Amino acid sequence: MSDPEVIVVGGGIGGLGAAYALRRQGLRVGVLERSASFGEVGAGIQLAPNCTRILDAYGLLDEAKALGVVPDSMVMRDATDGSELTRLDLRALEERYGSPYMVIHRSDLHGLFLRACERAGVELVHSQQVVGYENTPTGARVSFEDGRTQEARVVIAADGLNSVARKLLVDDEPVSSAYVAYRGTVPATEARVADVDLSEVAVYVGPGCHFVHYGLRGGELLNQVAVFESPKALAGESDWGTPDELDAAFARTCDFVRDGLPFMWRDKWWRMYDRDPIMHWVHGNIALLGDSAHPPLQYIAQGAIMAIEDGWVLGEHVAPHQGADGSVDWTGALAAYEAVRPEHCRRVVTTSRAWGQLWHLDGLAREQRNALLRGRDTRDWSFIDWLYGPTALEPRDEPEMFHPVPLASAGHDPVPPASPAQPVVAVAAGRG
């Protein structure tokens, strides 16, 4: 790389988003990607207003809309009987938050950021396996698998769930949820899609499992996600999340959900991990970003969004710490970044865990949850204002959290200790 001021390690959505945000501030930025090419694996992804607002600020929202779908509603249904539990009017949601809720293929979103970085002059280098990070008297250094090194004033580690840089700050490991996700896309020409309203994002919540679907690429594809708890994982077996477990997990669900299972990619699956939140992301001139700092479970569809927000916030804090000669007070910029982002992301990670428990209840707790959801006003924004409003740049700007509603308030007997009370509203239909 040619004398970058900032090195971003990781060419995923978060890394490219951060690189673009910093390049917009006039900095020389290079991205190191370990794979042989820049690309993204997966299917659909949901972008809430706290993300599309940033895309709009970047001048990328219209391109994103052309590649994705702006749905009319988000619906939560019971996976066992198919009945509707609650919904969000996404057109009204756009009016409230000033930006749309949209869905897009992960590869399309990644490609959007990749092209933006290319246009902006970000240096993009693939096939670079970073194995070490260290601070230097004048900045930071990364070391490669082949023994080479590269230095810059600052290094942003967007190196994912199994981050090498994270070990500079904490000695922890990913936390397995024992849940696994299967994904698949179905062409609109298939009979399966004829029975689906592509103007909605739908999630079917069931005992120990859930099923998500929504349209992609202007309605050309139906995206499906099937998530379930693996008995093999709970038993400590290494070969878990296999297709036989997929079929068994959804055996109690309604016909519509079961009919979607043959369309899943059954030769690959994604085991679901997160990490316990940490409140320090900066080590000298090295900073964590995205999943290296805060990998969440996917239940409120904020993983990639948080990474995009991280990059935007960092870029916005560079500006006031930049001198007339273009030099940056990185100590001040990184301190401002670390002052605001960890608390927000801690809330997202812990709320995602709680929503996963809520979605997968059984027995009495399931009945109580359903009763509360059915009684929810579709214009009740109290559970999502903290999430979908403007991204905070200062700790004082972080909004108050919602107030959880105990399941027992549904008028049934108290929830057993094994099923703790959880907040009840469909924030998002889940990532896929």
CA gap 52, 418 in Å, rounded: 38
Nearest to 84 by CA among 374, 405, 358: 374
222 DSSP assignment: E
- Report CA torsion sign: 50, 182, 11, 134: positive
CA distance readout (Å), 157 to 32, 248, 257, 311: 10, 39, 39, 11
Find tokens 């190196």 and name the residue.
159
- Give bridge partners of residue 260 from the DSSP assignment: none
214, 273, 299, 388: the active-site residue: 214
Q: Hey, how many other C-beta atoms are within 10 angstroms of the C-beta on 78?
A: 19
Nearest to 143 by CA among 285, 151, 158, 36: 151
Q: Are strands 73-78 and 200-206 parallel, antiparallel or unpaired?
A: parallel
Q: Is 214 a catalytic residue?
A: yes
Q: Hey, how many other C-beta atoms are within 10 angstroms of the C-beta on 370?
A: 21
- Which helix or strand (DSSP H or E) is residue 372 part of? helix 363-374
Strands (E), 18-172: 29-32, 44-47, 73-78, 84-89, 102-105, 123-125, 130-136, 139-144, 149-152, 154-157
Q: Are strands 154-157 and 149-152 parallel, antiparallel or unpaired?
A: unpaired
- Report CA torsion sign: 14, 21, 289, 286: positive
Question: Which residues form the catalytic set?
Answer: 214
